[in-house]
Amino acid sequence: MTIAGLSFERLALFAFAVLLLALTPGPVWIYLLSRTLAQGRRAGYFSLFGVAAGVFMHLCLAAFGLSALLLAIPAAFDAVKLAGAAYLLWLAWSTVRGNGISFEAQPLPLVADRVLFRQAMVAAAVNPKVAVFYLSLFPQFVDPAAGSVLAQSLVLGVLHITVGTLVDGALVTLAGVLAAWFATRPLWLRTQRWFLGTAFGALAVWLATTPRHAAS
């Protein structure tokens, strides 16, 4: 049994590899956990869908060979990386500031689902490390002699996104239980916007300071 030239054994091995990666705490976990704890399970789910959409954009670029430019042109990688860091810093500032910096016990304002989705999608799309991840992983599983490289890349990418979404969805679900408990604590109401803003700021620093060779 094969799919786009990929054997079941090869697909199973790839699924296991990306499962291990999905279970490893990283920037996506920080983003989704901070969103969920600060703004609830619904915000976490729409952020999860946004992350998946952003990763799918990287998948399409990698499958069609466009992501290779990030490695071929170091300045392009750095430009996208800094743009991503700037976007996360903007999210951090807008979250902390809100309608004015205040230390009073004020819950974060409700954010429209489409805004949560868009912010997460953009944050994932402007992270060049996702593209580097695909460029590093696909050659180990794609077999040009077995069929279309494009079709194989798309199948592997969709499998990766599916596994990652399932794992991250479980994380958001569990974090939602804690979010409901935190929502009844006055101290949390006083600090939640600073918690979320700090998380975004930390992600921005992480993205901006990681060298290109470390990403590859």
For residue range 104-153, list pLDDT tens digits in order.
Answer: 545 566 788 999 999 999 999 988 888 888 888 888 888 887 778 888 88
Structure-derived torsion over alpha carbons of residues 156, 161, 164, 166, reported in degrees to the nearest 10? -110
Q: Give yes or no for a contact between 197 and 49, defined as CB atoms under 8 angstroms apart.
A: no
* Residue span of the structural domain in which 72 resides: 2-215
What pLDDT, on the 0 to 100 scale, is given for residue 186?
75
The helix, strand and coil proportions of the chain, stated in percent and rounded to the nearest 5, come to 80, 0, 20
Contacts of residue 68, Cβ cutoff 8 Å, sequence gap at least 6: 135
Position 33 scores a pLDDT of: 94
In the prediction, which pLDDT does 103 show? Answer: 45
* pLDDT on residue 212: 63
Q: Per the structure, how many domains does the chain have?
A: 1
Ranges of residues in the chain with a pLDDT under 70 are: 1, 4, 70-71, 98-109, 212-216
Q: Which residues pair with 2 in a beta bridge?
A: 7
